[in-house]
Amino acid sequence: MYAIEIQNLSKSYQVGFWKKGLRPALKNLSLCVERGETFGFLGPNGAGKTTTLKLLMGITFPSSGTAKILGRHFQDPEIKKKIGFLPEQPYFYDYLSAPELLDYYGRLSGVSAEERQRKIPATLESVGLNDAGNTQLRKFSKGMLQRVGIAQAIIHDREILFLDEPMSGLDPLGRHEVRELIQKLKDAGKTIFFSTHILSDAEALCDRVAVIHKGQLRGIGVMNELRSAAGTNSEIIWQGANALSAVVRDVTEPHVTGELVRATVAREQQDRVLEKLRQQGAVLISVTPLHGTLEEYFLAKTSQAEAVQP
Amino acid sequence: MKPSAKKTFVLTLVLMLLFAGSVLALAKINSLRGSQATLQDVLYMPSGKLIKRMSLGYSGLLADIYWTRAVQYFGSKHIAQSMHYDLLYPLLDITTDLDPQLIAAYDYGSIFLSEQPPQGAGQPDKAVALVEKGIRENPAYWRLYFTLGFIQYQNRHDYHAAQEAFEKGSEIPGALPWMKVMAARMAERGKDIGTATALWGAVYQMASDKEIKHTAQLHLASIQADIAIDELERRVQTYQQRTGSFPSAWADLERAGLLRGIPLDPGGVPYQLQPGGRVEVLNAKKYPYLGEWRQNQH
Amino acid sequence: MIPRLSAITSNTFREAVRDRVLYNLIIFVLILLASAPLFSQISIDIERLMLVNLGLSAISIFGVIIAIFIGIGLVSKEIDKKTLYTILSRPVRRWEFIVGKYLGLVLTLLTNAVFMTIGFYAALYLYTRPLSAADARLLIGIYFIVLEFLIITAVTLLFSSFSSPIFSALFSFALFVIGTFSEDLRNFAAYSHGVGKWGAYAASWIVPNFASLNVISQVAHKQPVAGAMVLFNTAYALLYSATVILIAVLIFERRNLK
């Protein structure tokens, strides 16, 4: 059983004065997330990430397609006891204090009174809000609100967490703390589905990622494979500037400093270039394989106007 | 969760049932209250002037509402042939306090007030007070003088006051010259059948309200019937004097040369010849004002 | 279901309290206490009459105003501020949300009315002692006012579930006014013809009938209210409110939220 299984989910909005036009926000999204996986849902702004989450949470209704969460229909209210959701830039009832908010949400999620009593202080502590006391939320900073958001998403034992841009608007310290939190949850075996456009966060935390652009899924795969798939180059440093002319067509970005040359070569060309350099009498200093970055993969997938499914 | 079509259908049915239930409850409430209930508020208001101040500038609308209530009050009581129209004057008074230029309230309201029950409230003095208020507030409206004169003549039998009213009204620019004629008639003849006929004829012509027109029609019909009955009874007497007995059918009179054809009332129904020489109409309900102009009373 | 409903209800109540809504009670008491001496210039009987009229009318009007002011934002505020997102991601059903909000606001109005009643009776005692049995019957007037609250709250909730606060306020207020004159609407219908007649008749059944719920004058004049009236008006208020809330639920369950 998958944790999350999305099948051909689509959503189009009616636009225009007479609501006659259709603007597609999501086109036939299909993907699966394993249990215990940390899954990154990447895409530029407006790609359809938040739309997907809103569809899964039942905030809007799909134009077509369906999804399953832990094997049950995604709109089954009972399944919501097993999921937690942190929306983008969350806004909470500002007249409540943090413990009151968690108590309210806990009640709505069916957490019993004594469990709430136990868990609320613990949860607040785990997000670093244990000294928030009874301050009303309207006095909280953005970072604190984000933490409250995470707290309400984990107040009771969820198996799956849906996070929409959990790091947005946080300062570096805040982001670090949130990252740690997510890591802790990951270590505890939770399934985490988080959407972001900040690639470094995804790189640090995710097992698998999907790239979505203009409402369509452009790429999906395991993090490490994607990185190395993007990176197929090596960097060669040699001594003997005169040898450059022999390989200049096979290398890119040559930098010459005195007698030392540094250049990048595609991995397929690597052996041939090395051979040519030896023939020229250059002295090899180093050959280093370059890892590609997620960024390159991302840019590659989001640059095309039309895309095909991988 | 977007509900299924079936669930929507069921819920909509429940919705209609609930609404139907509310309509039933409301109907029951209305029947319990009767048409009197809204009007209870009227009694509890110290005065129309207070309502006017409270109405925050919407007194015109409120006046229309009160006028409608007055009409409905009168109408429903009239249908029930009631003998008491106690709230009519307060309603009209408040209406005209709220909107002193609501001519219809003075005009028709005073006629409803002045007529004898069950045709009206039987309060000609209050009617006069109302019209005089209307004249104060609308001095250029000459037709109110007509109404005033009419009420004085018809219901209060004060021919001098009636003449005065018609006179004053005739002097207002735009008044029909006929007002002067009425004034003259009042002076000369007072209670006279020709005057009455002319008066009701004028009322019928001038009124645009159905109820008033109908009342005028009834008066005219009754006057006609009264004249006819008088005449017929005279001929019956003649027959009796000639033959020593009363006729048993109109045909007898015909044969005696006293009549041509069967006499019909203004509604086209034959007059009824009763034993003892009395003549009556078949359907007295259609002639509620019968007997006012009879020369030979019983 | 019950724990979720009660959570939403109590939270709605808590929000109203923290919004300092109940401070209106202070103004109410001040008005009552300030105006009573003015009335005492007139004879004692009229003083009582005016105090009762003023007190009950104020309870009614204040309640309706609060119902409209809070009601228009009940749902629309949660949509605009997106606080609904985290609610809907929980096992809360959409209908529970609507009903919970309704009950929370009704609870607020009830609490308000209770305190006002206490203040009202205090003023009554202060200026027209002693209190008689007839004064206990004034509670019936307050009961009818509470029935009014049930209806007007449902109406504003309905508008809140699909339109913006300004329109909700406009429509709710308009319906309140028309509803107060619903009896006259029926009269208009009786005297018109054709399309206008049927339109007016239909309208007179559809708009909330506040006319029959206003027994303030009656109880002010110490007139009894028939038991049948209490029964059927209760039935009407409950059925009508249920109808309106059901419509609100039907609309809200279908809404795609931004």
DSSP assignment of C160-197: HTTS-HHHHHHHHHHHHHHHHTHHHHHHHHHH--HHHH
Give the tokens for residue B21: 């239930």
Q: Is pLDDT at B226 greater than 80 in this prediction? A: yes
pLDDT tens digits, one per residue of C100-117: 999 999 999 999 899 888
What's the pLDDT score for residue A212?
A: 87
Q: Is pLDDT at B41 greater than 60 in this prediction? A: no
Measure in Å the smallest separation between the Cα of C193 and chain A Cα atoms.
36
CA-to-CA dists, residue A207 to A84, A187, A192, A221, angstroms: 20, 12, 10, 9
What's the pLDDT score for residue A14?
A: 82
CA distance B77 to B13: 40
**Chain B CB contacts of A75 below 8 Å:** 1-2
CA distance C10 to C108: 10
Instruction: Give percent of chain B with pLDDT exceeding 90.
Output: 7
Q: Is pLDDT at C202 greater than 60 in this prediction? A: yes
Contacts from B35-38 at CB under 8 Å and sequence distance 24+?
A: B35/B72, B35/B73, B35/B76, B37/C183, B37/C212, B38/B69, B38/C183, B38/C184, B38/C211
Query: Across the interface, which of C11, C84, C256 has its CB nearest the CB of A104?
Result: C11
**Chain C CB contacts of A95 below 8 Å:** 14-15, 18-19
Beta carbons of B2 and A61 less than 8 Å apart: yes
Q: Which residue of B has its CA nearest to A77?
A: B1
Q: Does C5 touch chain B (CB under 8 A)?
A: no
Q: Which residue of B has its CA nearest to C183?
A: B38
Average confidence (pLDDT) over A300-306: 65
Give SS3 for B143: helix
Contacts of A117 (CB under 8 A, 6+ apart): none
What's the pLDDT score for residue A306?
A: 47
What's the pLDDT score for residue C150?
A: 95
What's the pLDDT score for residue B65?
A: 77
pLDDT tens digits, one per residue of B129-173: 999 999 998 888 888 998 998 888 888 888 888 888 888 888 888
Beta-bridge partner residues of B163: none
CA distance B170 to B176: 7
pLDDT tens digits, one per residue of A140-154: 888 888 888 888 888
Specify the range with the lowest mean pLDDT, choosing from A36-40, A236-240, B83-87, C129-133: C129-133
User: What is the signed CA dihedral for C131, C137, C139, C142, rounded to 10 degrees?
Assistant: -120
How far does CA B47 lie from the centroid of its chain?
26
Q: Is pLDDT at B43 greater than 70 in this prediction? A: no
CA nearest neighbour of C245 among C61, C40, C71? C71
Beta carbons of A78 and C82 less than 8 Å apart: no
What's the pLDDT score for residue A253?
A: 76
pLDDT tens digits, one per residue of B90-140: 888 888 888 888 888 898 889 888 888 877 888 889 999 999 999 998 888
pLDDT tens digits, one per residue of C2-42: 889 999 999 999 998 888 777 777 787 777 777 766 666 65
Instruction: Give percent of chain C with pLDDT exceeding 90.
Output: 35
Residue C239, phi-psi category: left (phi > 0), alpha (psi -120 to 50), beta (remainder): alpha
CA distance A239 to A237: 7
What's the pLDDT score for residue A248?
A: 81
Beta carbons of B26 and C191 less than 8 Å apart: no
Average confidence (pLDDT) over B9-23: 90
What's the pLDDT score for residue C106?
A: 95
pLDDT tens digits, one per residue of C129-155: 776 766 778 888 899 999 999 999 999
Chain A residues near any Cβ of chain C (below 8 Å) = 54, 57-61, 77-78, 80-81, 83-85, 87, 90-93, 95-96, 104-105, 107-110, 149, 152, 162
Q: How confident is the model at residue C181 (pLDDT cuts 50, 70, 90)?
A: confident
Q: How confident is the model at residue B87 (pLDDT cuts 50, 70, 90)?
A: confident
Give SS3 for B39: helix
Average confidence (pLDDT) over C204-210: 89
> Nearest 5°: phi and psi at A220?
-150, 145
Is the full-model pTM beyond 0.90? no
Average confidence (pLDDT) over C63-91: 89
**Chain A CB contacts of B1 below 8 Å:** 58, 75-77
Task: Report yes or no: A24 and A10 within 8 Å, Cβ to Cβ.
Answer: yes
Give SS3 for A132: coil
Q: Is pLDDT at B298 greater than 50 in this prediction? A: no
Query: Across the interface, which of B1, B40, B65 has its CB nearest the CB of C218?
Result: B40
Q: Which chains are within 8 Å of B by 3+ CB pairs?
A: A, C
CA-to-CA dists, residue A209 to A32, A34, A40, A300, B267, angstroms: 11, 12, 4, 14, 97
Four-residue CA torsion sign, C37, C41, C47, C51? negative
Q: What is the mean pLDDT of chain A?
A: 83
Give SS3 for B231: helix
Q: Is pLDDT at B206 greater than 80 in this prediction? A: no
**Chain B CB contacts of C228 below 8 Å:** 32
Measure in Å the smallest separation between the Cα of A20 and chain B Cα atoms.
22
Query: Across the interface, which of C94, C217, C235 has its CB nearest the CB of B40?
Result: C217
CA nearest neighbour of C210 among C57, C106, C105? C57
Beta carbons of C82 and A90 less than 8 Å apart: yes
Give the tokens for residue C138: 């004034």
What's the pLDDT score for residue A309?
A: 41
Q: Is pLDDT at A308 greater than 60 in this prediction? A: no
What's the pLDDT score for residue C159?
A: 93
Q: B57 or A158: whose pLDDT is higher?
A: A158
What's the pLDDT score for residue C46?
A: 64
Chain B residues near any Cβ of chain A (below 8 Å) = 1-2
Please, what is the Cα angle at B22 between B21 and B25, to 5 degrees? 90
CA distance C149 to C63: 7
**Chain A CB contacts of B2 below 8 Å:** 61, 75
CA-to-CA dists, residue C253 to B8, B76, C97, angstroms: 10, 47, 10
Most confident option among A109-118, A195-204, B186-195, C238-247: C238-247
Task: Report yes or no: A83 and A69 within 8 Å, Cβ to Cβ.
Answer: yes
pLDDT tens digits, one per residue of A267-290: 788 888 888 888 888 888 888 776
Q: Is the peptide bond before C130 cis (omega within 30 degrees of 0)?
A: yes
Residue B32, Cβ density class (10 Å: 0-12 exposed, 13-18 middle, ≥19 buried): middle
Helix pair angle (B59-79, C182-191), 10° resolution: 60
Q: How confident is the model at residue C43 (pLDDT cuts 50, 70, 90)?
A: low
Task: Report yes or no: C153 and C105 within 8 Å, Cβ to Cβ.
Answer: yes
CA distance C41 to C134: 23
For A8-34, give one letter per residue: b (16+ CB within 10 A) or e. Answer: ebbbbeeeeeeeeeeebbbbbbebebe
What's the pLDDT score for residue B189?
A: 61
Beta carbons of B29 and C239 less than 8 Å apart: no
Our separate counts of H helices and E strands in chain A read 10, 14
Going through chain A in order, the beta strands assigned E by DSSP cover 4-15, 21-33, 38-42, 64-69, 72-73, 83-86, 160-164, 191-196, 208-213, 216-222, 233-239, 251-257, 260-266, 283-290
Edge to edge, the sheet with strand A72-73 lists A21-33, A4-15, A64-69, A72-73
Q: Which residue of B has its CA nearest to C227?
A: B32
Q: A17 or B48: whose pLDDT is higher?
A: A17
In eight-state DSSP terms, residue A257 is E
Q: Which chains are within 8 Å of C by 3+ CB pairs?
A: A, B
Beta carbons of C90 and A108 less than 8 Å apart: yes
What's the pLDDT score for residue A116?
A: 86
Helix ranges (H only) for chain C are 2-18, 24-39, 44-71, 76-80, 83-88, 94-128, 133-136, 138-160, 165-180, 182-191, 194-206, 216-220, 227-254
Give SS3 for A251: strand
Q: Is pLDDT at B250 greater than 80 in this prediction? A: yes
CA distance C109 to C153: 9
Contacts of C159 (CB under 8 A, 6+ apart): C71, C72, C167, C168, C171, C172
What's the pLDDT score for residue A310?
A: 44
Surface of B (10-29) touching C: CB under 8 A: 11-12, 14-15, 18-19, 21-23, 25-26, 28-29
Size of interface B-C (CB pairs under 8 A): 79
CA distance B91 to B73: 9
Most confident option among A95-99, B175-179, B181-185: A95-99
What's the pLDDT score for residue A23?
A: 84
Q: What is the mean pLDDT of chain B?
A: 81
Measure in Å the smallest separation between the Cα of A155 and chain C Cα atoms.
12
**Residue A184: how many other CB atoms lie within 10 Å:** 12
Our separate counts of H helices and E strands in chain B read 13, 2
Query: Across the interface, which of C18, C89, C257 has its CB nearest the CB of A95?
Result: C18
Size of interface A-B (CB pairs under 8 A): 6
Q: Is pLDDT at C238 greater than 90 in this prediction? A: yes
Give the tokens for residue A121: 């202080």
Beta carbons of C90 and A107 less than 8 Å apart: no
For A189-211, give one letter per residue: b (16+ CB within 10 A) or e. Answer: ebbbbbbbbebebbbebbbbbbb
Give the tokens for residue C254: 């279908």
> Nearest 5°: phi and psi at B271?
-70, 150
Q: Which residue of B has its CA nearest to C239?
A: B22
CA distance C168 to C164: 6
CA distance C211 to B29: 11
What's the pLDDT score for residue A285?
A: 83
